[in-house]
């Protein structure tokens, strides 16, 4: 009996020990905080999701700590499910002082009470540097600033010059019809080496968007992300031509087999091996091919083709949000000073010149040189790039019933069907969800009858 009790007690202790082990990370953080406090330092915790620039940020943190010995900054580069990690951190009162925020999360995180507005902290000089690039529900919510932009994703058609030449094509396509035709020619010429004309990472929920958004925003002047700013309603008909072109590419056999289950990294690996003629992605690609997938392939990038060759809108640049400050932070002044320094021209110019991204801050873009990375020249801002107002897509999909747009388009591209009927159903479901979101007060985005995406041309560069 006694022996059994000891066994039970031992097992209980072991279990209790394992539970304690689960919480060790927090204890460490607390212990670090105490050490910082003991040495008279203020500890700031900074969460990021950007792995590609973590070396640069670490270096800048050391620099800042050198300038301000009273500050100790801990950078944590988070993995996937970042939004969930942030939710858990705030609900358990362990939120970081400074955190990276994605554009679509800004209104939600403000409503959840996570973010502190920058308004009372920003100097007049800083306000004037950013006043022309602030966007409602990307940077501001109900007139208050919660984050500022730094870099933008500039979207291009990326193509293998060798495969184009092998197929007798001298220029990248400028229309959808040419894109379909070129994909066919490249596949025919590349059959012996297993090369295909076109690929997309359709496994990802952004697979279709990566192709459709750049083409459509440059072709049409009404909106983006399926949202027509002129009517204030969703109209997925704007992607009809792109969906039909991709269906044609698939039926022609010019699409890399398995594209429907492809992620972006396997796609890049295949492109680096010379198996893909063209695909769409943004300004991170040059550094990817420099470090992650070094390649012998001669590649280049061009502005997205348009539906009929005319550029009525502006190719959507994804930009708007970067750093935010926690409402729960006990060191807001100190956190703000660091945020302000990271947003300074000095740091942001070094960021662009180091090749970590292309800046959309006007004062930085004016003086920063192009980074020394092969291929980046194709991704620098042109007169045909523009930052769009925020759309209510994220908040709408939170109330959407039935299949999301990405699955509907993928089903059509790889399986066919009645596209008009699908589009009608998509519009009805998305607009019903939008109405619910509006009724619940989740979004204040309204129609802008005079919106013209063509007016966004030349907003980021003159040429």
Partner 1 sequence: MNQAKRQINAWTFVAPSLILTLIFGVYPIFWALKYMFYDYQGFGEPLYIGLDNFERLFRDKEFWHSVVNTFIYAGGKLLITLPLSFILAVILNRALKGRQLLRAIYFLPTVISASVMAIVFYVIFNSYNGMVNQLLVGSGIVSAPIDWLGPKYALLTAIIIAIWGAVGNYMLLFIAGLQNIPEDLYEAASLDGAGPLRKMWSITVPMLGPVLQMIIMLAITVSLKGYESIMVLTEGGPYGKTEVMYLYLYKLFFPVSSGGTSIQQFGYGSAVGFATAVIVGLITLIYFYVSKKLNDIY
Candidates 41, 54, 175, 204; binder of partner 1 (CB under 8 A) is 204
Stretch that binds partner 1, among 74-82, 139-147, 353-361, 455-463 (CB under 8 A): 74-82
Bridge-based pairing of strands 323-326 and 140-141 is unpaired
Candidates 137, 182, 209, 422; binder of partner 1 (CB under 8 A) is 209
Instruction: Tell how far CA 152 is from the center of its chain.
Output: 9
The per-residue b/e assignment along 91-102, b for 16 or more CB within 10 angstroms, e otherwise, is eeeebbbbbbbb
Binding of residue 420 to partner 1 (CB under 8 A): no
Residues near 62 by beta carbon (within 8 Å), at least 6 away in sequence: none
Residues between 251 and 290 that touch partner 1 (CB under 8 A): 256-258, 260-262, 266, 270, 275
Nearer to partner 1, 309 or 416 (CB): 416
CA distance 421 to 247: 16
Binding of residue 327 to partner 1 (CB under 8 A): no
DSSP single-letter state for residue 256: P
Q: Which 3 state secondary structure label does DSSP give 225?
A: coil
Nearer to partner 1, 266 or 362 (CB): 266
Binding of residue 136 to partner 1 (CB under 8 A): no
Residues between 328 and 387 that touch partner 1 (CB under 8 A): none
| Helix and strand element counts for the chain (H, E) | 18, 18
Task: Report DSSP letters for 406-463, one per residue.
Answer: HHHHHHHHHH---HHHHHHHHHHHHHHHHHHHHHTTS------TT--GGGGTTSS---
Candidates 33, 237, 354, 398; binder of partner 1 (CB under 8 A) is 398
Residues between 169 and 198 that touch partner 1 (CB under 8 A): 194
Quick one: tokens of 43? 């500890």
Smallest gap from Cβ 343 to partner 1, in A, equals 21
Total chain residues near partner 1 (CB under 8 A): 57
Candidates 102, 228, 334, 385; binder of partner 1 (CB under 8 A) is 102
Quick one: which of 457, 461, 455 has its CA closest to 358? 461
CA distance 335 to 44: 7
Are 453 and 381 in contact by the 8 Å Cβ rule? The answer is no
Binding of residue 5 to partner 1 (CB under 8 A): yes
The residue count of the chain comes to: 463
x/- contact string, 105-124, with partner 1 (CB under 8 A)?
A: x--x--xxx-----------
Strand partners for 100:
323
Stretch that binds partner 1, among 22-30, 144-152, 250-258, 305-313 (CB under 8 A): 250-258
Nearer to partner 1, 90 or 299 (CB): 90
Smallest gap from Cβ 244 to partner 1, in A, equals 17
Nearer to partner 1, 36 or 413 (CB): 413
CA angle 17, 20, 22 (to 5 degrees): 115
Stretch that binds partner 1, among 119-127, 340-348, 406-414, 424-432 (CB under 8 A): 406-414
Smallest gap from Cβ 201 to partner 1, in A, equals 11
Binding of residue 125 to partner 1 (CB under 8 A): no
Nearer to partner 1, 127 or 404 (CB): 404
Quick one: tokens of 333? 């002044």
Binding of residue 15 to partner 1 (CB under 8 A): yes
CA distance 397 to 375: 36
Stretch that binds partner 1, among 63-71, 103-111, 167-175, 340-348 (CB under 8 A): 103-111
Q: Which 3 state secondary structure label does DSSP give 95?
A: coil
Binding of residue 395 to partner 1 (CB under 8 A): yes
Nearer to partner 1, 39 or 76 (CB): 76
Burial of residue 64 (number of CB atoms within 10 Å: 0-12, 13-18, 19+): middle
The per-residue b/e assignment along 266-286, b for 16 or more CB within 10 angstroms, e otherwise, is ebbebbbebbbbbbbbbbbbb
Candidates 40, 143, 168, 441; binder of partner 1 (CB under 8 A) is 441
Quick one: which of 401, 324, 5 has its CA closest to 139? 324
Binding positions for partner 1, rule: CB under 8 A: 5, 8-9, 12, 15-16, 19, 49, 80-84, 87, 102-105, 108, 111-113, 194, 202-206, 209, 256-258, 260-262, 266, 270, 275, 318, 394-395, 397-399, 401-403, 406-408, 410-411, 414-415, 440-442
């Amino acid at each position: 009996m006694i022996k059994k009790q000891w066994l039970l007690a031992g097992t209980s202790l072991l279990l209790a020990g394992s539970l304690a082990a689960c919480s060790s990370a927090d204890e460490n953080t607390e212990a670090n905080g105490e050490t910082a406090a003991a040495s008279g330092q203020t500890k700031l915790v900074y969460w990021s999701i950007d792995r590609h620039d973590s070396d640069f940020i670490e270096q800048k943190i050391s620099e800042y700590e050198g300038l301000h010995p009273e500050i100790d900054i801990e950078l944590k580069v988070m993995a996937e499910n970042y939004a969930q990690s942030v939710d858990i951190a705030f609900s358990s009162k362990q939120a970081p002082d400074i955190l990276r925020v994605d554009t679509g999360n800004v209104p939600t995180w403000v409503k959840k009470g996570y973010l502190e507005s920058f308004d009372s902290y920003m100097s007049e000089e800083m306000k004037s540097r950013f006043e022309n690039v602030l966007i409602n529900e990307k940077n501001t919510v109900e007139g208050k600033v919660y984050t500022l932009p730094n870099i933008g994703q500039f979207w291009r058609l990326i193509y293998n010059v060798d495969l184009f030449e092998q197929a007798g094509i001298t220029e990248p396509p400028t229309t959808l019809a040419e894109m379909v035709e070129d994909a066919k020619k490249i596949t025919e010429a590349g059959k012996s080496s297993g090369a295909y004309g076109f690929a997309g990472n359709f496994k990802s929920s952004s697979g279709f968007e990566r192709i459709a958004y750049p083409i459509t925003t440059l072709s049409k002047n009404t909106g983006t992300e399926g949202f027509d700013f002129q009517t204030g309603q969703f109209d997925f008909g704007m992607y009809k031509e792109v969906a039909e072109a991709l269906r044609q590419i698939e039926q022609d056999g010019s699409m890399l087999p398995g594209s429907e289950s492809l992620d972006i990294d396997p796609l890049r690996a295949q492109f680096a091996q010379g198996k893909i003629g063209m695909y769409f992605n943004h300004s991170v690609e040059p550094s990817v091919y420099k470090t992650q997938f070094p390649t012998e392939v001669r590649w280049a990038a061009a502005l997205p083709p348009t539906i009929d060759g005319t550029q009525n809108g502006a190719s959507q640049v994804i930009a708007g949000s970067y750093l935010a400050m926690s409402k729960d932070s006990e060191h807001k002044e100190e956190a703000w000073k660091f945020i302000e320094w990271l947003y300074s021209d000095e740091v942001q110019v070094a960021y662009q010149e180091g090749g970590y991204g292309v800046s959309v801050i006007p004062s930085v873009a004016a003086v920063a040189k192009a980074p020394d990375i092969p291929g980046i020249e194709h991704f620098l801002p042109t007169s045909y790039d523009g930052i769009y107002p925020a759309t209510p897509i994220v908040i709408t999909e939170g109330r959407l019933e039935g299949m999301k747009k990405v699955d509907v388009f993928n089903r059509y591209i790889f399986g066919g069907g009645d596209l008009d009927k699908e589009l009608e159903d998509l519009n009805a479901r998305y607009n019903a969800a939008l109405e619910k979101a509006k009724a619940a007060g989740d979004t204040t985005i309204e129609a802008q009858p005079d919106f013209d995406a063509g007016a966004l041309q030349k907003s980021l560069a003159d040429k």
